[in-house]
């Protein structure tokens, strides 16, 4: 007998699931229609199949909007009967994180990808002219594969995809679901992972998925060119879209670096995490393909290489998604998703586009416009081709090492990545980057087909020598020379690229405008490399622990104890050139902020600089999730994060309620044995960390929620506490009410004190103040790590400039494009 569950809102999910099925069906019909339009009605300008393909694709786009609307409604209304809403949201999430929860899970990510690809397809319907039919066949095919990822239906006992509208009781088995009223017990969702509660989560994934979606467009043109035997024509059509894909995906990757640097406890902007690596596979390959496409457009050389790289870039987009979403990197990456049963669907997606590419290349190989004449050694196209080869080799190395879990799965082996994986990547990738940086410089002085060799060598030699002099100075000042010599070479190549392309940019400003975009992009790339190599290579931990204080073995698994210092609350500590003080903490749900004060003091004791950083911590499933805060300088950053703390609850210091006073009296065990002091106004009480002054007695003191009659007495002791140079005030109260004596202690948590006004001694005209002091082991503290990143702004500025260069190139190529 079926259970009639109470309180479930099934209609939004049913409508959403209807739109999912409709989007899949519409995409499939569009793909089939465009295929027939391409093969059967080549001579007709506006065939039935083409119209049907368009209508079906528009329906697919509307359906995707319908899916998104229903899913957002479920999330926004907190319908926790749906697994997606329960798993990724909670009632306390602000509205902007409710929005980002849409793409928090795998299903939402695929929907975002689907949406952007639908938008790009609609743009192509209106702009691709005679290319519409074959290009849209490929785009619609890609939509079919993506829609299948969220289909969530069973066919012959096999579930296809995972629907975001799956009910909680359908996704897991538990006794609670035998209760028709189970929803009354589910008061809230699991919430969002702390590291995702950041503004970068709102803008980074949409940008990244637009980049992934745009990778299919040059791929579709390449397939269309092979399919329709328009071998040369597709290249000029695809170049602007390839530039757009490189620009957007590159921007998405850089945003991920910003996110990691500002919000994630990685200790930097790039950690060579497998998912990070996978995100740049398609970007590197398409950048290489883009350069070879330009070579072919200008000289007719390297057609096969250009086509192969463009086709491979989209295959790698799917492979990147497979690494991220199949669960295969679960043990090697902090970013990867668990498997939702999509493993083989993702494999099918990879194989579909890979096989399609190989079949067309093999079938058309003899007809391809492959030139037999070799390029001139001193021609631009030859060295652009060499640069693209090195980009491909760079990607190949990343792919092989990142894919170790895949090789283990395929061959049933137990291979392990290199023991020092970051050093391994840094050295090898720096070697590739050096060659590429050099090539982005001197190819600008070459001309297509043939170059004046003597003039080229003189110009190149001058700029290489100037870059070498700058590198020597830069390496000495930054300390880069102390590291691996490969990093010095990379610095040389990067500075040479900046200088050489700066010359080209200067010429462009004088009138050769068509060269400006590539020059700006290359300058940005060079600056990015300078920032990356110097910042990553010469970063220094300034929170060096020289106290000999040890940490637990569990802590040492994640952190190097020598790189973390313990700072007690309001107790200044020397750290490098700074005095640091843990001032306190505050709660702004779900974040717990810690105030860390920095002071730079000169030899005379004068404070020359002072600022306060607020790194934050969230507690997620019993673990601390820390996010850094950074002091930005022009030529460096000071990066600080919390690695351990015992101050994880809000402090309610100075409460004057009777209830708080009662609670304060019950925690004497948290303090050392109390010491009573007989004092009068103006007297000083010394204690371990400072002193206390009884400023005055207030005979009109009041205690919240306790009314006093004329026969009652309440006296407050106005105390000033000085601890480690900081001043605090407190007013413990002594009360006689209805003939009974009470006292209300006051806690000064920042000083680690509890103070009681316990007695009035009229014959001596004194009072008794009892001092409770926390032992060192009970004092609040943070364990923190601080890292100096020199010249990091070169990395960020270079990233932005490179994107601007791509945009300028898009504008140029758009003007040159003649769509037919």
Separation CA 401–CA 792 (nearest Å)? 27
Task: Taking residues 39-49, report their average pLDDT.
Answer: 75
Separation CA 668–CA 672 (nearest Å)? 8
Token pair for residue 620?
């997620």
pLDDT digits (tens, 9 = 90+) for 348-367: 999 999 999 999 999 999 99
Separation CA 217–CA 243 (nearest Å)? 11
Q: Which pTM value belongs to this model?
A: 0.85
Q: Answer yes or no: is pLDDT of 42 > 80.
A: no
What is the SS3 assignment for 474? Answer: helix
Task: Taking residues 51-60, report their average pLDDT.
Answer: 97
Burial of 286 (0-12, 13-18, 19+ CB in 10 A): buried
Q: Answer yes or no: is pLDDT of 455 > 50.
A: yes
Token pair for residue 225?
């060119």
Q: What is the model's pLDDT at position 268?
A: 75
Check residue 554 and report its DSSP letter.
H
Task: Taking residues 295-300, report their average pLDDT.
Answer: 89
Q: Answer yes or no: is pLDDT of 386 > 70.
A: yes
Q: What is the model's pLDDT at position 817?
A: 64
> Is 779 in contact with 527 (CB distance < 8 Å)?
no
pLDDT digits (tens, 9 = 90+) for 116-148: 999 999 999 999 989 999 999 999 999 999 999
Secondary structure element (H or E) that encloses residue 481, with its range: none
pLDDT digits (tens, 9 = 90+) for 643-698: 888 877 543 333 333 344 444 445 677 788 899 999 999 999 998 878 999 999 99
Q: What is the model's pLDDT at position 764?
A: 87
Q: What is the model's pLDDT at position 548?
A: 64
Under the banding of pLDDT at 50, 70 and 90, the label for residue 626 is confident
Q: What is the model's pLDDT at position 820?
A: 47
Of the candidate ranges 34-43, 70-79, 224-233, 514-523, the one whose mean pLDDT is the lowest = 34-43
Q: List Cβ neighbours of 723 (8 Å cut-off, separation of 6 or more).
A: 570, 689, 690, 750, 751, 752, 753
- Higher model confidence: residue 557 or residue 21? 21
Of the candidate ranges 277-281, 437-441, 513-517, the one whose mean pLDDT is the lowest = 513-517
3-state helix, strand, coil in the chain (%, to 5): 55, 20, 25
Q: What is the model's pLDDT at position 482?
A: 84
Q: What is the model's pLDDT at position 598?
A: 95
Q: What is the model's pLDDT at position 351?
A: 96
- Higher model confidence: residue 339 or residue 792? 792
Under the banding of pLDDT at 50, 70 and 90, the label for residue 767 is very high
- State the pairing for strand pair 591-601/616-620: antiparallel
Q: What is the model's pLDDT at position 771?
A: 94
Of the candidate ranges 10-19, 314-323, 554-563, the one whose mean pLDDT is the lowest = 554-563
* Long-range contact pairs involving 325-332 (C-beta distance under 8 Å, separation at least 24): 325/106, 325/109, 328/405, 328/406, 328/409, 329/274, 329/275, 329/405, 331/405, 332/274, 332/404, 332/405, 332/417
pLDDT digits (tens, 9 = 90+) for 167-203: 999 888 888 888 999 999 998 998 887 777 778 888 9
Q: Answer yes or no: is pLDDT of 496 > 90.
A: yes
Q: How would DSSP label each residue in 804-820?
A: HHHHHHHHHHHHH----
pLDDT digits (tens, 9 = 90+) for 565-591: 999 888 888 898 899 999 888 877 667
- Higher model confidence: residue 317 or residue 371? 317
Task: Taking residues 739-765, report their average pLDDT.
Answer: 89
Query: Which phi and psi angles does 647 have, rounded to 5°?
Result: -110, 70
Q: What is the model's pLDDT at position 1?
A: 46
pLDDT digits (tens, 9 = 90+) for 254-282: 998 888 887 766 667 888 888 888 999 99
Q: Answer yes or no: is pLDDT of 14 > 70.
A: yes
Under the banding of pLDDT at 50, 70 and 90, the label for residue 721 is very high
Q: What are the CA-CA distances from residue 361 to residues 227, 238, 355, 356, 366 (Å)?
A: 9, 18, 10, 9, 9
**Per-chain mean pLDDT for the chain:** 87
Q: Answer yes or no: is pLDDT of 699 > 80.
A: yes
Give me the percent of the chain exceeding a pLDDT of 70.
Answer: 91
Q: What is the model's pLDDT at position 266?
A: 62
Q: Answer yes or no: is pLDDT of 791 > 80.
A: yes
> Is 398 in contact with 433 (CB distance < 8 Å)?
no
Q: What is the model's pLDDT at position 650?
A: 40
Under the banding of pLDDT at 50, 70 and 90, the label for residue 374 is low
Task: Taking residues 2-24, report their average pLDDT.
Answer: 93
């Amino acid at each position: 007998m079926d259970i009639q569950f109470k309180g479930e809102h099934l209609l939004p999910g049913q409508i959403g699931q209807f739109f999912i099925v409709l989007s899949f069906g519409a995409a499939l019909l569009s793909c089939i229609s465009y295929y027939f339009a391409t093969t059967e009605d080549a001579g007709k300008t506006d065939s039935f199949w083409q119209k049907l393909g368009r209508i079906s694709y528009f329906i697919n786009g509307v359906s995707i909007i319908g899916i998104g609307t229903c899913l957002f409604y479920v999330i926004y209304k907190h319908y926790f009967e749906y697994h997606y809403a329960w798993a990724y949201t909670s009632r306390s999430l602000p509205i902007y994180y409710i929005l980002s929860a849409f793409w928090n899970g795998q299903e939402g990510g695929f929907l975002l990808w689907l949406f952007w690809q639908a938008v790009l397809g609609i743009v192509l319907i209106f702009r691709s002219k005679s290319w519409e039919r074959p290009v849209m066949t490929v785009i619609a095919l890609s939509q079919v594969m993506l829609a299948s990822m969220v289909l969530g239906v069973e066919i012959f006992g096999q579930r296809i995809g995972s629907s975001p509208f799956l009910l909680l009781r359908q996704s897991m088995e538990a006794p609670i679901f035998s209760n028709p009223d189970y929803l009354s017990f589910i008061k809230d969702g699991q919430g969002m992972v702390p590291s995702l509660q950041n503004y970068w989560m709102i803008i980074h994934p949409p940008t990244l998925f637009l980049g992934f979606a745009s990778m299919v467009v040059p791929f579709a043109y390449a397939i269309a060119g092979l399919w329709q035997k328009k071998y040369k024509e597709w290249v000029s059509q695809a170049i602007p879209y390839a530039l757009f894909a490189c620009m957007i995906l590159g921007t998405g990757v850089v945003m991920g670096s910003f996110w990691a640097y500002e919000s994630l406890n990685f200790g930097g902007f790039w950690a060579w995490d497998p998912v990070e690596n996978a995100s740049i596979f398609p970007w590197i390959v398409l950048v290489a393909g883009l350069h070879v496409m330009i070579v072919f457009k200008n000289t007719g050389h390297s057609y096969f290489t250009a086509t192969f790289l463009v086709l491979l870039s989209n295959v790698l987009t799917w492979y990147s998604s497979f690494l991220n979403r199949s669960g295969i990197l679960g043990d090697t990456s902090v970013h990867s998703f668990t498997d939702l049963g999509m493993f083989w669907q993702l494999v099918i997606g990879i194989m579909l586009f890979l096989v399609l590419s190989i079949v067309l290349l093999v079938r058309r190989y003899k007809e391809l416009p492959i030139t037999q004449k070799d390029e001139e050694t001193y021609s631009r196209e030859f060295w652009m081709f060499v640069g693209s080869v090195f980009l491909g080799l760079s990607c190949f190395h990343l792919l092989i090492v990142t894919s170790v879990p895949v090789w283990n799965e395929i061959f049933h082996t137990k291979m392990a990545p290199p023991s020092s994986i970051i050093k391994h990547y840094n050295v090898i990738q720096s070697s590739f980057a050096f060659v590429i940086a050099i090539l982005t410089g001197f190819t600008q002085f070459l001309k297509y087909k043939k170059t004046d060799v003597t003039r080229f060598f003189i110009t190149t030699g001058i700029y290489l020598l100037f870059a070498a002099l700058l590198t020597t100075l830069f390496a000495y000042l930054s300390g880069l020379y102390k590291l691996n010599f490969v990093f010095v070479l990379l610095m040389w190549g990067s500075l040479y690229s900046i200088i050489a392309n700066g010359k080209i940019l200067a010429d462009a400003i004088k009138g050769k405008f068509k060269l400006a975009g590539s020059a700006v992009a290359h300058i940005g790339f060079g600056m990015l490399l300078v920032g990356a190599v110097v910042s990553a290579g010469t970063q220094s931990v300034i929170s060096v622990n020289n106290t000999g204080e040890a940490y637990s073995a569990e802590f040492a698994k994640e952190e190097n104890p020598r790189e973390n210092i313990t700072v007690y609350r309001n107790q200044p500590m020397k750290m490098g050139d700074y005095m640091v003080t843990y001032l306190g903490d505050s709660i702004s749900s779900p974040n717990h902020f810690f105030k860390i004060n920095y002071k730079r003091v000169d030899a005379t004791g004068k404070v020359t600089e002072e600022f306060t950083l607020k790194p934050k911590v969230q507690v997620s499933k019993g673990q601390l999730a820390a996010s850094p805060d950074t002091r930005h300088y022009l030529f460096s950053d000071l990066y600080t994060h919390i690695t351990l703390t015992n101050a994880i609850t809000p402090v309610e210091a100075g409460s004057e309620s009777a209830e708080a006073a009662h609670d304060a009296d019950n925690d004497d065990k948290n303090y050392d044995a109390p010491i009573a002091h007989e004092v009068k106004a103006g007297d000083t009480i010394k204690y371990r960390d400072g002193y206390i002054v009884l400023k005055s007695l207030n005979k009109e003191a009041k205690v919240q929620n306790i009314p006093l009659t004329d026969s009652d007495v309440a006296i407050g002791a106005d105390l000033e506490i000085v601890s480690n140079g900081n001043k605090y005030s407190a007013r413990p109260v002594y009360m006689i009410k209805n003939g009974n004596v009470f006292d209300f202690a006051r806690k000064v948590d920042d000083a680690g004190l509890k103070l009681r006004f316990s007695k009035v001694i009229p014959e001596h005209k004194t009072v008794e103040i009892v001092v409770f002091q926390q032992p060192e082991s009970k004092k609040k503290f943070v364990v923190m790590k601080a890292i100096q990143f020199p010249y990091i702004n070169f990395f960020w500025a270079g990233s932005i400039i490179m994107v601007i260069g791509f945009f300028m190139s898009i504008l140029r190529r758009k003007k040159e494009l003649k769509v037919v």
